[in-house]
């Protein structure tokens, strides 16, 4: 019954009680001499009906001069419940209802209204109503369970909460087994969470919109919800139904706008982790990895216990290959270096654990995922070069099938650190293998002025190799084309056009090599003329910026010059081989390529 009817009900019970007291006084000829104080109210009652029904009052009033009793402040249900009990003492049984039966049952226990005191006493009557009426109805059981929150001290001892929990779990299991009920909502809930952002409560909870019992369960306080989930598992409900319920509950209560109390949020979060990842349990593959990342983010924010965080990280490690870049954690606040934030350190721990746990396995998917993540944080101006190298070293170089994302991370780091020295720049870029770059990224690396000189030439050489392989393969293919009616087929025409584009790119690269070669020759002549006394003077070079040339730099220039000579020979060989047949061209190119020996 709604709250608007409660004042009228209280007035009715108060009026009935006063009439019962007056009627008893007329029948017995004795006025009420016992005063009962409870919850700020006083009740003037007769002694005999109290001791006939209540063992508690029988001990206090029988044979003694005590005529005033003060009930404790935590008396179940307060003065309203005692008013109902007083009516029962005078022979009027107020009808039970789900909103009051728990308090009446607890108060009857406190006042010792048992069968030993009087037959058909209030304790037995209230128990019968609970078992035969309330616990047979989902809605009534929920009402009683909510009311037990203010009676936990008594309702727990009397197993009222336990009986309600077990009854709700049993009815939920029956709902799942009902063939007429919608059975696809768990999969829909998991899909909504796997692909939707955290806190999309309308999307996640909407999947269970037709399943009212799920909505009722996730509305409960966590201490009750946790017990119901445990009972669901004990009664045999499959995990594919249990896990979505827990996920929907977390999605509802752990969103910051709904749970402002940090202590409450931490308690719920730790409880959700316990439900999803019990201690000692194996990896839970039912839960989307995105949800575990979301829980870990809140665990870091609320300072969750070490054990719970480790269990979350362990779950993420087991599901890491199925992760997306958007799942990985980035710091919410921008105070302090991003690279030393708790989120980045947690991601570093997860990926390191994954790699060390599979020393003999290579996983390029995880390696590429990590490089994408490093690329996202490489723009942090406060990140030191050693810290950047630590992050790159998390994944072994041999695990990377492609270095495209690693190049992007290097480019972002160099762009945000324009003042680092040439030696440090070379150290940072030592991880990049230009042979593992795609053609498009390799061209960008050649044209990137931020990259050190040695890396530019490595990229040039890799580009030359790629171009040679493409041209050779396409030349062999074009030599075997069969023309029909003097026209190429559409796919053959596209192949021929691609061949011309590749040749044009090759000619452009060859021209750049010629330019670099001539400038390097001029640089070498100037160095020889300057002598040792001018070794530390700064000299300009249009292609690579300004350098301080000493003995080591001169040695490097000689090595680069040798490399350019080799590239020039290669280019010259290719230019001549274009006018020969495909087979002689391959032989000439292979022989000249063998003459080029450079330590990359």
Q: Using one digit for the tens of pLDDT, what is the confidence trace for 43-67?
A: 999 999 999 999 999 998 887 667 8
Token pair belonging to 34: 């016992």
Supply the DSSP string of 208-236, one letter for each residue. TTT-HHHHHHHTS-HHHHHHHHHHHHHTT
Number of neighbouring beta carbons within 10 Å of residue 124: 15
User: Could you tell me the pLDDT band of residue 256, with boundaries at 50, 70 and 90?
Assistant: low
pLDDT at 581 over 50: no
Long-range contacts from 327-333, C-beta under 8 angstroms, 24+ separation: 327/289, 327/290, 327/293, 328/293, 328/369, 328/373, 328/376, 329/293, 329/296, 329/297, 329/300, 330/376, 330/377, 332/301
pLDDT confidence of residue 547:
40
- Would you say 363 and 369 are in contact if contact means Cβ atoms under 8 Å apart? no
Highest mean pLDDT, choosing among 221-230, 248-257, 566-575: 221-230
pLDDT at 159 over 60: yes
Nearest to 312 by CA among 262, 271, 276: 276
Work out the angle at residue 495's Cα, subtended by the Cα atoms of residues 489 and 501, and round it to the nearest 5 degrees. 140
Whole-number mean pLDDT of the chain? 78
User: What backbone torsions phi and psi does residue 43 show, to the nearest 5 degrees?
Assistant: -120, 120
User: Could you tell me the pLDDT band of residue 472, with boundaries at 50, 70 and 90?
Assistant: low
pLDDT confidence of residue 181:
63
- Would you say 165 and 224 are in contact if contact means Cβ atoms under 8 Å apart? yes
pLDDT at 385 over 90: yes
Residue in this structure with the two tokens 């929907």, named with its chain if needed = 248
- Would you say 53 and 90 are in contact if contact means Cβ atoms under 8 Å apart? no
What are the residues whose beta carbons fall under 8 Å from the beta carbon of 297, sequence distance 6 or more?
Answer: 198, 329, 343
What are the residues whose beta carbons fall under 8 Å from the beta carbon of 224, sequence distance 6 or more?
Answer: 145, 149, 161, 165
pLDDT at 148 over 60: yes
Give the whole-angstrom CA distance, residue 273 versus residue 277: 6
User: Could you tell me the pLDDT band of residue 546, with boundaries at 50, 70 and 90?
Assistant: very low
pLDDT confidence of residue 186:
67
Cα→Cα distances 600→403, 433, 555, 573, Å? 16, 9, 16, 22
pLDDT above 90 as % of the chain: 45
- In the CATH scheme, what is the code of domain 25-158? 3.30.710.10
pLDDT at 280 over 70: no
Give the whole-angstrom CA distance, residue 134 versus residue 142: 9
Q: DSSP letter at 487?
A: B
pLDDT at 534 over 80: no
Give the whole-angstrom CA distance, residue 435 versus residue 422: 23
Token pair belonging to 216: 């009722």
User: Could you tell me the pLDDT band of residue 364, with boundaries at 50, 70 and 90?
Assistant: very high
Token pair belonging to 324: 């997306």
Three-class secondary structure assignment of 165-206: HHHHHHHHHHHHHCCCCCCCHHHHHHHHHHHCCCCCHHHHHH
Give the whole-angstrom CA distance, residue 409 versus residue 369: 12
As a whole number, mean pLDDT of residues 342-371 equals 92
User: Could you tell me the pLDDT band of residue 464, with boundaries at 50, 70 and 90?
Assistant: confident
Three-class secondary structure assignment of 383-428: CCHHHHHHHHCCCCHHHCCCCHHHHHHHHHHHHHCCCCCHHHHHHH
Give the whole-angstrom CA distance, residue 185 versus residue 191: 10
Token pair belonging to 539: 């000299």
- Would you say 493 and 465 are in contact if contact means Cβ atoms under 8 Å apart? no
The separation between CA 544 and the C-alpha centre of its own chain, rounded to angstroms, equals: 45
pLDDT confidence of residue 137:
96
- Would you say 28 and 41 are in contact if contact means Cβ atoms under 8 Å apart? no
What is the domain partition of the chain in residue ranges? 25-158, 452-478+491-528+548-600
Give the whole-angstrom CA distance, residue 287 versus residue 319: 10
pLDDT at 265 over 90: no
User: Could you tell me the pLDDT band of residue 468, with boundaries at 50, 70 and 90?
Assistant: low
Cα→Cα distances 528→451, 453, 516, 520, Å? 27, 21, 18, 12
pLDDT tens-digit profile of 208-235?
555 788 889 999 999 999 999 999 999 9
Q: Where are the beta strands (DSSP E) in 196-332?
A: none
Could you tell me the pTM of the whole model? Answer: 0.72
Beta-bridged to residue 546, according to DSSP, are: 540
What are the residues whose beta carbons fall under 8 Å from the beta carbon of 73, sequence distance 6 or more?
Answer: 39
pLDDT confidence of residue 23:
94
pLDDT at 415 over 80: yes
pLDDT tens-digit profile of 416-428?
999 999 899 999 9
- Would you say 351 and 321 are in contact if contact means Cβ atoms under 8 Å apart? no
The SS3 call for residue 69 is: strand
Q: Over the range 1-38, which residues count as b (16 or more CB within 10 Å of their CB) and which as e?
A: eeeeeeeeeeeebbebbeebbeebeeeeeeebebebeb
């Amino acid at each position: 019954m709604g709250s608007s009817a409660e004042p009228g009900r209280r007035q009715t019970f108060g009026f009935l009680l006063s009439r019962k007291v007056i009627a008893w006084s007329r029948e017995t000829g004795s006025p009420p001499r016992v005063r009962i104080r409870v919850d700020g109210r006083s009740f003037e009652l007769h002694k005999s009906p109290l001791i006939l029904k209540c063992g508690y009052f029988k001990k206090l009033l029988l044979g003694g001069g005590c005529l005033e009793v003060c009930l404790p402040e935590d008396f179940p249900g307060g003065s309203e419940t005692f008013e109902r009990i007083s009516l029962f003492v005078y022979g009027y049984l107020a009808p039970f209802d789900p909103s009051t039966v728990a308090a009446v049952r607890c108060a009857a226990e406190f006042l010792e209204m048992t069968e030993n005191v009087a037959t058909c006493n209030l304790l037995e009557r209230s128990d019968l109503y609970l078992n035969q009426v309330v616990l047979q109805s989902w809605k009534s059981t929920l009402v009683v369970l909510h009311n037990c929150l203010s009676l936990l001290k008594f309702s727990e001892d009397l197993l009222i909460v336990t009986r309600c929990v077990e009854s709700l779990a049993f009815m939920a299991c029956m709902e799942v087994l009902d063939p007429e009920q919608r059975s696809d909502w768990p999969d829909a809930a998991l899909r909504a969470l796997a692909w939707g952002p955290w806190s999309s409560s309308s999307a996640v909870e909407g999947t269970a919109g037709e399943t009212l019992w799920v909505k009722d369960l996730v509305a409960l306080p966590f201490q009750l919800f946790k017990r119901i989930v445990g009972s669901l598992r004990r009664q045999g409900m499959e995990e594919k139904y249990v896990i979505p319920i827990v996920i929907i509950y977390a999605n509802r209560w752990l969103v910051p706008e709904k749970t402002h109390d940090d202590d409450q949020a931490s308690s719920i979060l730790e409880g959700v982790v316990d439900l999803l990842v019990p201690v000692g349990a194996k990896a839970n593959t039912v839960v989307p990895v995105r949800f575990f990342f979301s829980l870990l983010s809140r665990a870091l924010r609320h300072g969750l216990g070490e054990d719970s965080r480790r269990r979350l990280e362990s779950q993420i490690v087991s599901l890491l290959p199925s992760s997306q870049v958007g799942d990985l954690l980035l710091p919410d606040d921008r105070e302090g270096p991003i690279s030393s934030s708790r989120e980045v350190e947690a991601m570093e721990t997860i990926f390191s654990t994954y790699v060390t746990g599979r020393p003999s396995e290579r996983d390029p998917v995880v390696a590429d995922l990590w490089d994408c993540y490093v690329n996202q944080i490489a723009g942090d101006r406060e990140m030191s070069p050693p810290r950047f190298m630590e992050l790159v070293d998390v994944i072994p170089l041999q695990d990377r099938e492609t270095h495209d994302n690693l190049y992007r991370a290097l480019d972002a780091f160099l762009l945000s650190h324009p003042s680092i020295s040439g030696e440090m720049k070379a150290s940072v870029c030592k991880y990049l293998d230009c042979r593992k770059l795609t053609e498009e990224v390799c061209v960008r690396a050649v044209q990137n002025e931020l990259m050190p000189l040695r890396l530019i030439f490595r990229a040039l050489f890799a580009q030359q190799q790629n171009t040679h392989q493409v041209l050779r393969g396409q030349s062999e293919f074009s030599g075997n084309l069969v023309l029909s009616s003097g026209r190429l087929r559409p796919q053959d025409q596209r192949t021929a056009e691609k061949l011309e584009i590749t040749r044009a790119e090759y000619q452009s690269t060859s021209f750049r090599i010629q330019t670099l070669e001539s400038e390097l020759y001029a640089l070498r002549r100037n160095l020889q003329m300057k002598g040792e006394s001018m070794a530390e003077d700064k000299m300009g070079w249009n292609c690579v910026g300004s350098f301080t040339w000493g003995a080591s730099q001169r040695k490097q220039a000689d090595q680069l010059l040798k490399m350019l000579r080799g590239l020039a020979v290669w280019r010259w060989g290719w230019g001549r081989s274009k006018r020969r047949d495909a087979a002689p061209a391959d032989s000439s190119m292979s022989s000249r390529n063998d003459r080029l020996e450079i330590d990359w």
